Amino acid sequence: MEHKNTYQNLYKLVEKLKSSNDPKRKYEYILWLGKKLGNPSEGLINSENKVKGCVSEVFVKGNLVEGKIYWEGYSDALITKGLLSFLISGLNALTPRDIIDLNKNFIDETGLNKSLTPSRSNGFLNIFLKMKSQANSFLSS
């Protein structure tokens, strides 16, 4: 993974998932992360923050504070909430440029594609792409 210092939080999460070859344990870890995700703030759940292409209802929003993005999100399904929590934890407090420059290869490195249904894997990617899109909008505004 590129720039381990920049992406150290994400790298730790990826390593945690890579450390197990048991798809069930990976799934349990993602469910645990989902349970840790806080309640959505007022105004999070709207069409602007909705992640398109997910079977579940998923919302994610970045807030730019002193040049870094702090994320919040919500999903109505626990597994998707876990994937969202994974990305929020891994990408929190990065600059918009850091997020835009991040390659999606880390998703494959997690090994989750062996544990998740194709629609969940696609949803994971769509959440990441929505976060990249929001990071890009901070750079262009």
Positions annotated as catalytic residues are 54
Q: What is the DSSP letter of 104?
A: T
Cβ proximity of 83 and 56 under 8 Å: no
Handedness of CA 108, 23, 50, 52 (dihedral sign): positive
Question: Which helix (H) or strand (E) element contains residue 68?
Answer: strand 68-75
As a dihedral over the C-alpha atoms of residue 67, residue 46, residue 124, residue 129, rounded to 10 degrees, the angle is: -50
SS3 state at 58 = strand
